Structure 1
Amino acid sequence: MPPTSPSSSAQAARAALAARLRDIRLDAGITKRELAARCGWSEAKSSRIENARTAPSDDDLRAWCHACGADDQAASLVAANRQADSMYVQWKRLQRTGLKQLQTANLSLFERTRHFKVYCSNVVPGFLQTPGYAAALLRAIATFRGLPDDVADAVTARMNRSRILHENGRTFAIVLEETVLRYRLGDAGVMAGQLGSLLSAMDLPSVSLGIIPAAAERSMWAIESFTAFDDRRVDHEPLSASVKITAPDEVDQYLKAFGALHQHAVYGADARALIVRAIEALH
């Protein structure tokens, strides 16, 4: 089962960084009090950093290393600190200038990925969205979060990113909950267009689209939507933040979950029948 805390990867990375700092101090043979005196801060701050209760700044890390005679380790620690900071990023930070920037931020990741595994329990995944559906979804997000209105530009950027579906050398294994077909984003016309586009996507040689029937008896429950990139990184998006998971043991849990969810899905004619029924229910 995937971790219950969306920030668990970031917490683990911060704990590992704190352990490295403790080892550096111990190797230098100084106490936390002496370290604090050399750095010009309180002993309590040294303790909070070393116990991963306070995230150090880049300057804190450089001062720590200098106080311990380990200046050669500062650059590595700064890089590790920034990586931990990027694992769990609140949406208000990512989207402060609007939604277009977010659509382009991961473009290089999408372009270098060859094998995608995608599970969605709430919305159609981004690279299968029609412009109408994407506009309805992104406008809802912008309104909810009080963001600048750049929805039209964000939709254009999302459609541009979706071109990878038609490029050679990639595979897309996608599993949707049947409820995704029923949640209305936009009016009936927008939803009909989106569902029809899913039928077309099933004809693409790079796409394997499975749908888990709502009535299916299951051993794997519905979880948060996520995307796995080449089985090495998993991104998922709870309401408040964007979470990037790279720790191998956690990535493996998501891959295991995907395998179980894949087993519950139907494909081919059975999946098409579920989509057609959802289209018919719009009228």
Structure 2
Amino acid sequence: MARASEISGPRPARALSRNSILLYGTLFVLSIYYLLPLYVMIMTSLKGMPEIRMGNIFSPPMEITFEPWIKAWSKACTGINCDGLSRGFGNSIQILLPALLMSIGIASINGYVLTYWRFKGSEVFFTLLLIGAFIPYQAMIYPIVILLREVGLMGDRAGLTLVHTIFGMPILTLLFRNYFAALPEEIFKAARIDGAGFWQIYFQIILPTALPIFVVAIILQVTGIWNDFLFGVVYTKPASYPMTVQLNNIVNSHQGVKEYNVNMAATLITALFPLLIYLVSGKFFVRSITAGAVKG
């Protein structure tokens, strides 16, 4: 048996080395920096206005009340309507679901075609599609207004759904194409030899292997569509405003007393849906982004 003096190799790292203390200390400070505003929002939303006027925003509520949450959801005025965020939540869901399904469905087929069924001019098509991902949204507002007006969708939820579908496809197509390109090409060739066709390969071979990148696409689209304000306020009318536009109307209302607890509650309610989506499926996010970026 080798003696202790003869054992070679690097020493095990100490649990509290200088580097680890610096690393964890920096992470702790950054965590406090980002979580402190969220803490203030939650505490403020659970307080009554008399307690808020006392001025200590960091203290927990002396008496917890959920009245601000109830008012933000069903009673706060968002313009001419005073039914809170409930109307906007329904509008956002009706905009999100079809836009999510169409954009991800079309983008996944685009990525599949551009990887395995390349046609003459496919690279040109892909380049033009990518250019669309880098055009500033603000530059496209007026042309899209004219387009939606001509097809009779201006001011309607269907028009906003179409806009989100189109603007989501370029970056999603890039993600799907890169992810499918990283898969072994032999699987596709073997399926072709066995006589499988376009849709058979897509549904039976490609889709079962693509769950991680679908999760990434869902997170990106849900976050982008749900948090959108610019398109919502331009392409819809008050009856079909999404949740973010109604939140803006609540927070920036200049009528009556400024109810900070209701504003904080409304902000938290608006952010809950995409936050829950990310918490449920976030473990796939980094893994899938990496898998979709190793090959271009």
Give the structure with the higher percent helix: 2
Q: Which has the larger radius of gyration?
A: 2
Greater RCO (Cα-Cα under 8 Å, separation 6 or more): 2
